[in-house]
Amino acid sequence: MLAISIKSIFSDHWKSIKLELSRRYESSHWKSIVESVEKMLSCREPSNGYAEYICTHCGTKKKSPFTCKGRFCTSCGKKYTDEWVHRTVGELIDVAHRHLVLTIPEELREVFFWNRSLLKVMMDCAAKTALEVLQSQKSGAVPGILVVVHTFGRDLKFNPHVHLLMTEGGLRGGQWEAIPFLPYALLRKKWQYCY
């Protein structure tokens, strides 16, 4: 069975895709997209450099090509994400957490595509929404909130959305208050109002 990877798909079709997209889009972020894809395509290519290891006993040589360390690369990006998760988990407060995903309507995606500074606004709105909803349960409790924006969905189409990791409770007056219930109907309405 033939293994197909994202890298092989891009290798086969990148020149024609790049040409077509450069005709359609002229924006400042287009350059970063091209750089990310081309970085991924050159990942582990010996022509971009490599480390050579030689066994001191038998003299066997092994060349290990350098990686691109790009976030778009399926192997380097995964490694970076795993390391980030490991570091972040070590810094979290040892309490129950809740994972929330907040999305925007498909009709707004193009607005975010052309104005990337709005991604920061979206993250701020998501944190504000989560804080207001939690505080509606216990006035004054301050939760821990970690916000991460993703700009693409699983199908690799532009689909900006926000992931929040939020404590199930918060500090009030120096004391921890557990708040296990989050009214999702209220969260949904406040998020819709925010965007």
CA–CA separation, 144 vs 179, rounded Å? Answer: 12
CA distance 67 to 48: 9
Q: What is the CATH number of the domain that holds 118?
A: 3.30.70
- 186 and 101 in one domain? yes
Q: Are 56 and 102 members of one domain? A: no
Nearest to 166 by CA among 151, 144, 189: 144
Q: Are 167 and 143 in contact (CB under 8 A)?
A: yes
Q: Examine residue 9 and state whether it is found in any structural domain, yes or no.
A: no
What is the domain range of residue 124?
A: 94-194
**Averaged pLDDT for residues 35-44:** 90
The answer to whether residues 117 and 171 belong to one domain is yes
- Say yes or no: 172 and 86 in one domain: no
What average pLDDT does range 180-191 have in this prediction? 92
Establish if 144 belongs to a structural domain.
yes
Residues 111 and 170 in one domain: yes
Q: State whether 98 and 66 are in the same domain.
A: no
For 44-66, write each residue's pLDDT tens digit. Answer: 999 989 999 999 999 999 999 99
pLDDT in tens, 53-101: 999 999 999 999 999 988 788 888 888 888 888 888 888 889 999 999 9
143: how many CB neighbours lie within 10 A of its CB? 24
pLDDT higher than threshold 90 for residue 1: no
Residues 97, 98, 101, CA angle at the centre, nearest 5°?
Answer: 145
Co-location of 58 and 111 in the same domain: no
pLDDT tens digits along 110-130: 999 888 889 999 999 999 999
Looking at residue 22, what is its pLDDT? 74
Does residue 13 fall inside a structural domain? no
Contacts 24+ apart (CB under 8 A), 109-117: 109/158, 109/159, 109/160, 112/151, 112/158, 112/160, 113/158, 114/27, 116/29
Number of domains in the chain: 2
Question: Do 77 and 108 belong together in one domain?
Answer: no
Say yes or no: 122 and 146 in one domain: yes
So what's the pLDDT on residue 145? 94
User: Cα separation of 2 and 92, whole Å?
Assistant: 42
CA distance 62 to 42: 19
Residue 157 lies in a domain: yes
Q: Does residue 61 sit in the same domain as residue 99?
A: no
